[in-house]
């Protein structure tokens, strides 16, 4: 039995269906009126419904076909594939595919579909065995090896997937889908240059396939080829006017072009100022719960810079910005193990290479980094004592990076905010106003609170001392960040000076903190008032609870 080839996968990516489908469907319907028990006709009708996106009708016709002819291998395969791709009825899909295997044990495509189904059901070992068995059975047909490649990729067997797709291309060198799929796999492997080459080739071979042109435009945008991206996206839009994904990608391209323009202007400004490169990064120095996230995000949006968040966060795999230091350091030391020894020269080289990394991943050419008080020791040598300035401070001074020290004056409010966030797991809320929902109760441990406020006050003073005399050191206060819900003029003036230019967009808050009024939260409020009365923190407590 020959291996039944499915409808061309390009159709499933949203391209137009052939204009003769309507005539074929009318012919099939006439046949079924004359002979309603014609299983092959029901099978054909199911395929037509599927191509037109009528999944419920496609499944119903497929079920009718195998009911009328239980030994119809193509029918069981088609039914299983429909249920796999278009529904959650995976149990019935598996039954259909296993029935097909009983009828045709050497059917490579059936073993492949069963493997992909088993992956979805979480049976990875059995799935991989089924997909590899499909490869052993597969005849030299390009489309089938392409499908096998995707199955292996789904199982995260990327090298085997690459080999299968190379074979598919060798068998069908002018099929664009095989080139595209190989490009996707190579991208997952990390071979960006080869991936782009194959995706370009796919678009050349399929100039009439809108989604391919759109995807090429997206990849070229990410690669920085903005001119090529514009050409590809314009072609995609002409082929499929009104396509939402292409429209979104064109908007992203416009944003990238704007950032590229800003980057070029920043290099020009740097050259006029005698610098060899534009500002690499601005540091927002702060304790937790002092507004550094909302400040960094909002300033980046207004000045069209790049906000990298807490770059010394201890979960580099959670990095959504691309600037996590630990992820960068791990990759660099894997390539240059000698840098793992924390000598002063090595730590300086690490910092310099990290600066280059930040510059390379920053489309705008200017970045904002969020560094908490407890993050400055990660570039220390073995010989830095606890009371001495961290080595990173010297590196920042040498690089002339501006530092904006954001301080929250009311340490009691800061302590309560921190404890509430730790308790709830809610740190920020998108939008412009705080939430009043989910109020909690908080019992203050007086001694722990006093100790933490002492520590925070000491840390603020220590950083002020460490940066004393540094011309590029600036101060902002959390309590004076906002005026009437908008950022104060002091914020705009500070960052206009720091970034050497005024904002290009309105400076608006992107997130706000979620802290309910403390007088309705603290359980032992009388104890708090009594214990802090007459102390250095008395006014802070009264203000926070008023």
Check if the beta carbon of residue 103 is closer than 8 Å to that of residue 78.
no
**Which residues have CB under 8 Å from 201's CB, separation 6+?**
176, 179
User: What average pLDDT does this structure show over 338-352?
Assistant: 94
The dihedral sign for the CA sequence 411, 417, 423, 426:
negative
Residues 132 and 50 in one domain: yes
Domain-embedded: residue 1: no
Residue with tokens 């530092």: 403
Report, in angstroms and rounded to the nearest whole number, the Rg of the chain calculated over CA atoms: 31
Residues 158 and 197 in one domain: yes
Indicate the number of domains in the chain: 3
CB-neighbour burial class of residue 165 (10 A; exposed 0-12, middle 13-18, buried 19+): buried
Q: Is the predicted pLDDT of residue 421 greater than 70, yes or no?
A: yes
- Of the two residues 513 and 224, the one the predictor is more confident about is 224
Domain-embedded: residue 248: yes
Domain-embedded: residue 130: yes
- Give residue-wise pLDDT tens across range 90-131: 999 999 999 999 999 999 999 999 999 999 999 999 999 999
Domain-embedded: residue 373: yes
Parent domain of 189: 9-207
Residues 299 and 432 in one domain: yes
Q: Is the predicted pLDDT of residue 402 greater than 90, yes or no?
A: yes
**Which residues have CB under 8 Å from 538's CB, separation 6+?**
532
What's the length of the chain?
A: 546
Residues 389 and 535 in one domain: yes
Residues 485 and 506 in one domain: yes
Q: Is the predicted pLDDT of residue 436 greater than 90, yes or no?
A: no
- Give residue-wise pLDDT tens across range 230-280: 999 999 999 999 999 999 999 999 988 887 777 677 666 656 655 544 556
Domain-embedded: residue 357: yes
Residues 56 and 200 in one domain: yes
Domain-embedded: residue 417: yes
Residues 437 and 389 in one domain: yes
End residue of a domain, out of 188, 207, 226: 207
Residues 199 and 231 in one domain: no
Residues 86 and 212 in one domain: no
Domain-embedded: residue 3: no
CATH number assigned to the domain comprising residue 29: 1.25.40.10
Ranges of H-type helices in 190-312 = 192-205, 210-223, 226-239, 244-272, 292-303
């Amino acid at each position: 039995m020959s291996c039944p080839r499915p409808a061309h996968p390009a159709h499933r990516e949203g391209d137009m269906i052939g204009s003769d489908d309507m005539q074929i469907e009318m012919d099939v319907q006439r046949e079924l009126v004359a002979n309603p028990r014609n299983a092959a006709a029901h099978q054909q009708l199911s395929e037509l419904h599927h191509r037109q996106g009528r999944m419920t009708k496609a499944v119903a016709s497929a079920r009718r076909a195998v009911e009328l002819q239980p030994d119809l291998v193509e029918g069981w395969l088609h039914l299983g594939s429909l249920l796999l791709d278009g529904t959650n009825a995976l149990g019935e899909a598996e039954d259909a595919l296993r029935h097909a295997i009983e009828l045709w044990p050497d059917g490579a495509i059936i073993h492949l579909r069963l493997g992909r189904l088993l992956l979805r059901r979480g049976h990875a070992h059995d799935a991989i065995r089924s997909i590899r068995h499909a490869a052993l059975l597969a005849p030299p047909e390009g489309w089938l090896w392409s499908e096998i490649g995707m199955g292996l990729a789904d199982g995260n067997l990327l090298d085997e997937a690459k080999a299968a797709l190379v074979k598919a291309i060798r068998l069908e060198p002018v099929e664009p889908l095989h080139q595209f799929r190989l490009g996707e796999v190579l991208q997952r492997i990390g071979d960006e240059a080869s991936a782009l080459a194959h995706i370009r080739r796919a678009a050349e071979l399929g100039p009439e396939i809108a989604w391919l042109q759109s995807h090429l435009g997206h990849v070229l945008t990410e690669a920085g080829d903005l001119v090529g991206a514009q050409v590809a996206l314009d072609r995609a839009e002409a082929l499929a006017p009104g396509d939402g994904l292409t429209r979104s990608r064109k908007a992203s391209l416009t944003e990238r072009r704007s950032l590229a323009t800003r980057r070029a202007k920043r290099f020009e400004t740097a050259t006029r100022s005698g610098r060899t490169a534009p500002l690499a990064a601005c540091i927002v120095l702060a304790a937790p719960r002092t507004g550094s996230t909302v400040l960094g995000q909002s300033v980046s949006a207004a000045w069209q810079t790049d906000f990298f968040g807490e770059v010394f966060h201890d979960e580099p795999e959670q990095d959504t910005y691309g600037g996590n230091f630990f992820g960068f350091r791990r990759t660099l030391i894997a390539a240059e193990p000698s840098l793992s020894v924390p000598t002063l020269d090595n730590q300086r080289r690490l910092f310099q290479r990290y600066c280059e990394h930040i510059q390379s991943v920053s489309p705008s050419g200017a970045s904002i980094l969020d560094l908490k008080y407890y993050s400055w020791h990660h570039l220390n040598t073995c010989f830095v004592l606890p009371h001495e300035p961290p080595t990173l401070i010297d590196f920042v001074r040498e690089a002339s990076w501006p530092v904006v020290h954001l301080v929250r004056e009311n340490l009691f409010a800061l302590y309560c905010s921190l404890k509430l966030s730790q308790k709830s797991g809610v740190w920020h809320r998108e939008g412009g106003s705080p939430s009043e929902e989910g109020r909690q109760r908080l019992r203050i441990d007086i001694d722990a609170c006093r100790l933490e406020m002492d520590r925070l006050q000491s840390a603020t003073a220590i950083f002020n001392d460490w940066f004393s005399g540094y011309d590029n050191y600036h101060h902002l206060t959390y309590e004076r960040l906002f005026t009437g819900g908008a950022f104060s003029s002091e914020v705009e003036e500070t960052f206009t000076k720091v970034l050497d230019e005024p904002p290009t967009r309105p400076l608006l808050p992107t997130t706000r903190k979620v802290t309910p009024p403390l007088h309705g939260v603290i359980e032992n409020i009388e104890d708090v008032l009594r214990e802090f009365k007459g102390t250095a923190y008395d006014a802070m407590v009264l203000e926070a609870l008023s």
